[in-house]
Amino acid sequence: MPTITDPRVLVDASTRDDAAVYQLTPDRAIVATVDFFTPIVDDAYDFGRIAAANAFSDVYAMGATPLLALNLVGWPRDTLPYELLGEVLRGGADIAREAGAFVLGGHSIDDPEPKYGMVAIGEVHPNRIVTLARARAGDALVLTKPIGTGVLTTALKRDLASAADLALAVKSMTTLNAGAARAMRATGGGVHAATDVTGFGLLGHLHNMLNASGGGLSAEIDAASVPLLPMAMELTERGAVPGGTKRNVEALSPHVKFGSAVPEPLRVLLCDAQTSGGLLIACDPDRVNTLLAALSREATPAAARIGRLARGTPGAITVS
């Protein structure tokens, strides 16, 4: 990527942040992101809802409010009916409506494998942007959704789980991170950094936060405090581990030290590649109770204090 020096560009790809941010006026900036993927559930409507919630999640992670979206579609026109595509788009439109955003168009191509996602656009005051690059030593770490969606959706594909078994996972993946974003604002500046937990897994996104924030930051995670989706441990033990999760485990191995009491399936789940996951929030310890109370009021899928940041080996994570 080219180096950007224009002062109006407030966030670009250099920090591996969730979205780009471009300043329009002294009190207004545009947040832009894009995401799409192949189906991870069998129901077309749910697929559309999950993909849309996943796209808007990047906007919320930056502390922004969604404005509009554009659909991105790849569809095998000769093998799958357009009625099925209509259900996908209906799911995306319903989530956009829930987010208070307008779907104003998009682009589609003929593709042998179906794909759906969105360009999501939001706005934020330049002084209220939340990035993953401002975490501080001493910050408390809070997670707003349980993990395990990668394992559960892989189990569905391998006939190790039924659609009914995935009901709570689908509910989590279709829940917007809007409530978590409002809770962050309720701390009055107590949130120093945030990111949404997606393809790199919980520990992968935490590692990115540590590296982006600099200052010799490391992290300590209490494994028992991390919320898990039902059946996630059992299905991990049965081998329903996606390729992305395996790659995360391998990539993180030099940076993560697990205590002997942390079981192997849980070690895998902490690296599980998520879809439409929750926000991982680094919060001033003096304001973390305010954040947790706000998350409770918003009824987010989880509101778990899972660890803390400290000075130490840069990027290192200890899990006990």
Where helices occur in 191-256 by DSSP H, the ranges are 201-213, 232-237, 243-252
Q: Are 91 and 48 in contact (CB under 8 A)?
A: yes
What is the residue extent of each domain of the chain? 9-127, 131-319
Residue 146 is classified by DSSP as: -
Beta-strand (E) ranges in 145-278? 191-196, 217-221, 256-258
Q: Are 57 and 276 in contact (CB under 8 A)?
A: yes
Q: Measured between alpha carbons, how far is 280 from 313 in angstroms, rounded to an integer? A: 21
Q: Which CATH architecture has domain 9-127?
A: 2-Layer Sandwich (3.30)
What stretch of H or E contains 110? Answer: strand 102-110
What stretch of H or E contains 51? Answer: helix 44-61
Can you give the pLDDT at residue 72? 98
Can you give the pLDDT at residue 14? 84
Q: What is the pTM of this model?
A: 0.96
Could you read off the pLDDT of 230-277 as tens digits, one per residue?
A: 999 999 999 999 999 999 999 999 999 999 999 999 999 999 999 999
Q: Are 168 and 229 in contact (CB under 8 A)?
A: yes
Measure the CA angle with vertex 122, ends 4 and 125; round to 5°. Answer: 75
Fold for the domain defined by 131-319: Phosphoribosyl-aminoimidazole Synthetase; Chain A, domain 2 (3.90.650)
Give me the torsion for CA of 300, 144, 271, 164, rounded to 10°: -10
Per-residue pLDDT of the chain (320 residues; tens, 9 = 90+): 788 889 999 999 888 888 999 999 999 999 999 999 999 999 999 999 999 999 999 999 999 999 999 999 999 999 999 999 999 999 999 999 999 999 999 999 999 999 999 999 999 999 999 999 999 999 999 999 999 999 999 999 999 999 999 999 999 999 999 999 999 999 999 999 999 999 999 999 999 999 999 889 999 999 999 999 999 999 999 999 999 999 999 999 999 999 999 999 999 999 999 999 999 999 999 999 999 999 999 999 999 999 999 999 999 999 99
Can you give the pLDDT at residue 176? 98
